[in-house]
Structure 1
Amino acid sequence: MQRKPNSNDELVDYLIRQDRIRSEKVEQAFRKVDRADFVPESFIEDAYSDKPLPLNGETISAPHIVAEVTELLDLESSHKVLEIGSGSGYQAAILGQLTDRVIGVEINKELTEASRPKIPENVEIRHGNGFSSVDGKFDRILFSCATENFNEALNFVEDGGVIVGPVREDDKQVLRKWKDGEITSHGGVRYVEMQD
């Protein structure tokens, strides 16, 4: 049995061995953002475990999922990124290492306030409900909560943009990627539901 990682670097090494982190730039972003900074104090001993952790009625996603969606977004530094359901700010902080501008939207006011001091300057976390909290278009849109579909997101994505997130299908969730009108599936996942 393999022991669990005990540091952020060990976690990144584990994600590389598991083929979840596949690019140098995503590896570097993960090495710069310590998951322990975003985990509730009561779960700090599990900060580097590859599992989701409770977070004030929501969860901080398992690191392998954060890595997978980050790779699927195929980010460039010039991209403007929107994350719906930014939670602790961990995913947004990683995205902020890879792009010039990230806007995260979080419906839970406590999580919004708690995440702000932990994120880089090029990341803005807004308290609000989904797309009603933003205007303009984005090169990349990430749902960090389960959604029915990407229909509303299509109004906010730039031409040539990408949308990634968990989409509900019957009683399960499937990680999907939309690009140029084509949707690809990337396995079953379990995210918190998008709140109204």
Structure 2
Amino acid sequence: MGGAVSAGEDNDDLIDNLKEAYYIRSDLVERAFRAIDRADYYLDEYRDNAYKDLAWRHGNIHLSAPCIYSEVMEALDLCPGLSFINLGSGTGYLSTMVGLILGPFGVNHGIELHTDVIEYAYQRLDCFIKTSDSFDRFEFCEPSFVVGNCLEVPPESRQYDRVYCGAGVQKEHEDYMKNLLKVGGILVMPLEEKLTKITRIGPNSWETKKIISVSFAPLALPKHSTNGKPKTVPLRESPLHRYLNMEILV
């Protein structure tokens, strides 16, 4: 999915094209997109393709098309201090943009199936923190990534203000995804080949909006452990939240 806007010469050119095509519609989302060079999440030998409105995959490493990420960022309706989980967090590109908006008191979790992709995401995150001018211009909510299957979040885990799933969700898993949300929260996911925005407006009530047609690889189903019980994913707190909790305990 992609190719909806013209190719750019650099990151700013790409963002200009996404704005012109009305994929980026808010100043907040525009600032986040301009702050992070998409090419920094490509392997060096593929950087020439970074500013095309196309998805990219190399082995397990995957980036969705810029027009998809634009629609996702707009639909999430982000603001500082929210809690967010990225199911299938991949390279960390989206999670890092989200972190620029959430600020220092947000929560920014990611779950990714592949260990090599987690390692790649942390390399990209470290590079952003150490080398990007944007890191000094924003109050950043640093993402925390863990390896696991996003259908194995333990039921006692927190609910989130915002949830994004970067894989096609089968209809039978729709309720599982919804239950990750707090009341008032927003879930964005590919559901039945439509990028779908679901808002939890009450304990048992939801508002659903179809955004655009998409084609995503389906969610990988969980594998059971040897004793027949499903595994669970241990979600980490962000460094700041660990520090604040220590201060409270002291």
TM-score of the pair, normalised by structure 1: 0.91
CA distance 1:38–1:58, shift in 2 (3 Å): closer
Structure 2 counterparts to residues 27-46 of structure 1, below 5 A: 27-46=30-49
Structure 2 counterparts to residues 70-81 of structure 1, below 5 A: 70-81=73-84
Is the 1:43–1:53 contact (alpha carbons within 8 Å) kept by the matching residues of 2? no
CA distance 1:58–1:147, shift in 2 (3 Å): farther
The unaligned stretches of length 5 or more in structure 2 are 130-140, 222-250
Is 1:118 equivalent to 2:124 in the alignment? yes
Is the 2:6–2:53 contact (alpha carbons within 8 Å) kept by the matching residues of 1? no
Is 1:142 equivalent to 2:164 in the alignment? yes
Structure 2 counterparts to residues 6-25 of structure 1, below 5 A: 6-25=9-28
The alignment yields a C-alpha RMSD, in angstroms, of 1.7
Could you tell me how far 1:154 is from its partner in structure 2? 2.2
What do the CA deviations read for 1:62-81 (whole angstroms, capped 9, x no partner)?
00100101000101111110
Q: Distance in 2 between matches of 1:101 and 1:131?
A: 20
Is the 2:61–2:91 contact (alpha carbons within 8 Å) kept by the matching residues of 1? no
Partner of 1:186: 211
Name the structure with the higher strand share: 1
The size of the alignment, in residue pairs, is 191
Q: Which amino acid aligns with 2:216?
A: Y
Could you tell me how far 1:41 is from its partner in structure 2? 2.6
What do the CA deviations read for 1:157-193 (whole angstroms, capped 9, x no partner)?
111101101012xxxx111111120111112101222
- Runs of 4 or more, structure 1, over 6 Å off, are none
Higher-Rg structure is: 2
What do the CA deviations read for 1:55-95 (whole angstroms, capped 9, x no partner)?
32453100010010100010111111011011111111111
Further displaced range: 148-157 or 100-109: 148-157
Q: Which amino acid aligns with 2:19?
A: I
Partner of 2:246: none
Is the 2:6–2:17 contact (alpha carbons within 8 Å) kept by the matching residues of 1? no
Choose the corresponding residue for 1:160, options 184, 192, 195: 184
Structure 2 counterparts to residues 56-67 of structure 1, below 5 A: 56-57=59-60, 59-67=62-70
Structure 2 counterparts to residues 60-99 of structure 1, below 5 A: 60-99=63-102
Is the 1:143–1:164 contact (alpha carbons within 8 Å) kept by the matching residues of 2? yes
TM-score of the pair, normalised by structure 2: 0.72
The unaligned stretches of length 5 or more in structure 1 are none
Q: Distance in 2 between matches of 1:156 and 1:6?
A: 39
Name the SS of the counterpart of 1:151 in structure 2: helix
Is the 1:59–1:192 contact (alpha carbons within 8 Å) kept by the matching residues of 2? no
Q: Distance in 1 between matches of 2:101 and 2:216?
A: 23
Choose the corresponding residue for 1:175, options 195, 217, 234: 195
Is the 1:141–1:162 contact (alpha carbons within 8 Å) kept by the matching residues of 2? yes
Could you tell me how far 1:3 is from its partner in structure 2? 6.1
